[in-house]
Amino acid sequence: MPACIHCFVSGRVQGVWFRAHTQKQAQQLDLKGWVRNLDDGRVEVFACGDEEPLERFHLWLQQGPELAIVEACSREPADWQEFSGFVIR
C-alpha cells in the first residue's frame, strides 16, 4: 500500500554526503520524493512508496552513511504526493 513519510534527521548529517547517499538508497528502494539540508543543520526528507521499502528506508535514515552521526530521526506520516523520482533539493 503506497504511503509517504516526512522525516527530519539531526546530528552530524551535513557535509558527510548524507543527501547523496539518501538519494541512492531511495532509488534502490524505488521510492520517490526529495531530500534537502536545512539552515539549522538538520536534513529534511520526504519519501513516498510502498510501506515495506519505506520502513527499510526509515531504518537506514536512523544510521545514515558511514561518516554521519545520526542523533535523532523523526518520522511523520504525510499525504500522498506524486514525484517522478527522488531528488536532492
- Enumerate the active-site residues: 19, 37
From 58, 89, 87, select the one nearest 73 (Cα to Cα). Answer: 58
For residue 80, give the DSSP letter: -
C-alpha 72/C-alpha 84 separation (Å) is: 28
